[in-house]
Structure 1
């Protein structure tokens, strides 16, 4: 499997996980991720993220979004 395919799988998995953890619809998560360039962030940090668990990556994404002005409060 190519790196690009693996990155896409990770992005998709994290969208679903964020939806479940943050109690928001998938459509809203996608919109928030696009607005804050989380998908690009996942691609850029894939080398590190693929070694961590999804929960740790999701926490990192929350911090990234907060720095971009979008805070997720659960």
Structure 2
């Protein structure tokens, strides 16, 4: 039995949060602040159809591009 949409979205958000935390060398609180300030979980939800079929590395690269577009540098 596969995951339903809500469960799959949650797992995708968790994986990308953890990957971002490691890649950006941020604490949980720092990464959470970035995700909350820039609406990254909402962005992941908007991009779900695209994100769930490609790898996490490509997804985090897309999120980094999104953040640069918002004026944030990592």
Same fold (TM over 0.5): yes
Indicate the SS of the match to 1:56: helix
C-alpha RMSD of matched pairs (Å): 0.9
* Counterpart residue number, 1:18: 20
1:9 to 8, 11, 36: 11
2:53 to 37, 44, 51: 51
Unaligned runs of 5+ in 1: none
The TM-score normalised by the length of structure 1 is: 0.91
Taking the aligned partners of 2:5 and 2:19, their CA distance within structure 1 comes to 21
Unaligned runs of 5+ in 2: none
The TM-score normalised by the length of structure 2 is: 0.91
Regions of 4+ moved over 3 Å: none
Deviation (angstroms), 1:5: 1.3
Higher Rg:
2
Deviation (angstroms), 1:61: 0.2
2:72 to 52, 70, 73: 70
